[in-house]
Amino acid sequence: MVLPSRDLPGTVEGGEHRLARLKLAERCAVSEADEVLWVALQALGDPVRLRIVRLLREREQCVCHLTEVLGLSQPTVSHHMGLLKRAGLVLDRRDARWTYYRLAPEAAPRLSAAIAALLDTSQMDPTPAGCHVPALECERSASRAPAREKAHRPPGRLKATEPS
């Protein structure tokens, strides 16, 4: 598997999206392991690519079969397959005329381990976090909080203090 690099093309999105992502990765000091996870999750974050992975879970698929089942053009399917391949999720083989795709056998255990490591709380400090922001700033934040809370509250859920 070719790992995506911050200074090489081959990450899931191209062009301006890739540049914005790279700037974000640099600003947030994203590790190489996190970047690999990021690319795989982005590849799986598209409904068409999820459907492709589900089809490949059944058996190896020819690109011609994928175009027919998905109702997409061959270049579109090839684009999606390229993204899945660069993310290390699929492998391909070519015969004289067609390209055949299958799931990469090492992808599931690698992705499962990466997600498990990301969400592992065994090293988490159980001490409740304290606010270290000066009191005046906390008061300002608290006075603005209800407007933000109300804007992001799902419809149909009211706070106990609001009239029904």
Query: Domain 15-118 belongs to what topology?
Result: Arc Repressor Mutant, subunit A (1.10.10)
pLDDT at residue 124 in the model: 87
Alpha-carbon torsion (56, 59, 60, 62), positive or negative:
negative
Predicted confidence at residue 143, as pLDDT, reads 63
Residues in contact with 77: Cβ distance below 8 Å, sequence separation at least 6, in sequence order: 52, 63, 66, 67, 70
Predicted local distance difference test score (pLDDT) of residue 98: 87
**Reading across the β-sheet that carries 90-94, which strands appear in turn?**
61-62, 99-103, 90-94
> What are 153's two structure tokens?
């509250």
Rounded mean pLDDT for each run of 10 residues along the chain, 164 residues in total: 40 56 67 83 94 96 95 95 95 92 95 90 85 65 55 50 50
Judge whether 44 and 90 are in contact, CB under 8 Å: no
- Specify the pLDDT at position 149: 47
For the chain, list the strands marked E by DSSP: 61-62, 90-94, 99-103
Using an 8 Å Cβ cutoff, are 103 and 89 in contact? yes
Please give the structure tokens belonging to residue 75: 């270049």
Please give the C-alpha separations between residue 49 and each of 12, 34, 76, 98, 147, in angstroms, as whole numbers: 12, 21, 11, 19, 38
The full set of domain ranges for the chain reads: 15-118
Q: How far apart are the first and last CA of the chain?
A: 56
Residue 41: its pLDDT value, please?
A: 92
